[in-house]
Amino acid sequence: MKHNLRAALLLGALLGLGLNAPLQAAPVKKSAHHVAQKGEASNSKKVHAANKSSARSLHAKNSAKNPLKSVHAAARSAKAAHAHASAAPARSPLRRASMADVDPSRLALYSSSALVIDQNTGHTVLEKHADTVTPIASISKLMTAMVVLDAKLDLHEVIAISDEDVDGLKGTRSRLPVGTTMTRETAMLLALMSSENRAAHALGRHYPGGMPAFVNAMNRKAQALGMNNSRFEEPTGLSSNNVSTAHDLARMVAAAARYPEIRAYSTTGEAKVELNGRISDFHNTNALVRSENWEIGLSKTGYISEAGRCLVMQARVADRPVVIVLLDSVGKMTRVGDANRIKRWMESAALAVERRAA
């Protein structure tokens, strides 16, 4: 009996040991598995780091071989930065600057009257004694050309220079001898480009109804354009009784710029013209039309002693269309100098406005 009891106790002890063994082994296995995972993760990180380093090295090599890829990458980076900036809260709007912020009084002009009009807005950019009535000399020829074109006269009709076209007022010379024949178109070209007085006078004389009817048409056109302080006595501008103001002339220039023929003829730099079987060279009286620094759509100069040196232009300055009127300028080149000073001032002012608005 005792023997049986001992055997049972021994069997129970053995069974107890067998049951406890797996329970003690389980944590060991779990711990080993955890260490293995850590090792694998560490190795994975090392491999990933190595791959990353290798990728960077490969990208650097590829960039060196193909610089366009670097440019595209930079562009993508800039695009991402722009998108991030766009998502940022909007800043308060900047005050818009304008040409009015720039003081024109510091611009020294030698013309007695001056005016610059922005054709896009109609606003005055600059003015100096712009309402003073003054003789306008050959600026009158713009009105002469408009009246001829308004009458829709045949530009290919041949007209002749006669004794009536000779200047008996100022005694100016001409390269068009009496008896010279030319088309009405050629006469208009020479009147606008080279300011030929005999050509301009012949245009008026060959108008239906003659010179009186032509002068009446000039004054009617002036009134229609709102040139209330202007008066014309003849088509050349040799008479000091052809008068206007800078404001009135700005209206006339803007109107004349709507005629393709006037734009073309007044800005022709030079032309070879056959007169009486001979070829003659004629040049524009405004040297600025041949300058690469100017973009001029219409031009006309003028001079008599009573009017001084005059210049009107329609041009593009500081990336906008403007009308420039300069009257009674002292000195042969001062009107050109004034025009260049205005151009530089407007361009500098526009640049200053852009910097301020940035």
Any idea which residues carry the catalytic annotation? 138, 141, 195
Question: In one letter, which amino acid is 200?
Answer: A
Torsion angle, alpha carbons of 14, 16, 21, 22, to 10: 120
Separation between Cα atoms, residue 322 and residue 119, nearest integer Å: 5
Q: In the 3-class helix/strand/coil scheme, how is the chain assigned residue by residue?
A: CHHHHHHHHHHHHHHHHHHHHHHHHHHHHHHHHHHHHHHHHHHHHHHHHHHHHHHHHHHHHHHHHCHHHHHHHHHHHHHHHHHHHHHCCCCCCCCCCCHHHCCHHHCCCCEEEEEEEECCCCCEEEEECCCCCEECHHHHHHHHHHHHHHCCCCCCCEEECCHHHCCCCCCCCCCCCCCCEEEHHHHHHHHHHCCCHHHHHHHHHCCCCHHHHHHHHHHHHHHHCCCCCCECCCCCCCCCCCEECHHHHHHHHHHHCCCHHHHHHHCCCEEEEEECCEEEEEECCCHHHHCCCCCEEEEEEEEECCCEEEEEEEEEECCEEEEEEEEEECCCCHHHHHHHHHHHHHHHHHHHHHHHHC
Separation between Cα atoms, residue 60 and residue 271, nearest integer Å: 62
49-58 — which CB contacts under 8 Å span 24+ positions?
Answer: none
Separation between Cα atoms, residue 12 and residue 4, nearest integer Å: 12
- Tokens standing for residue 298: 């219409």
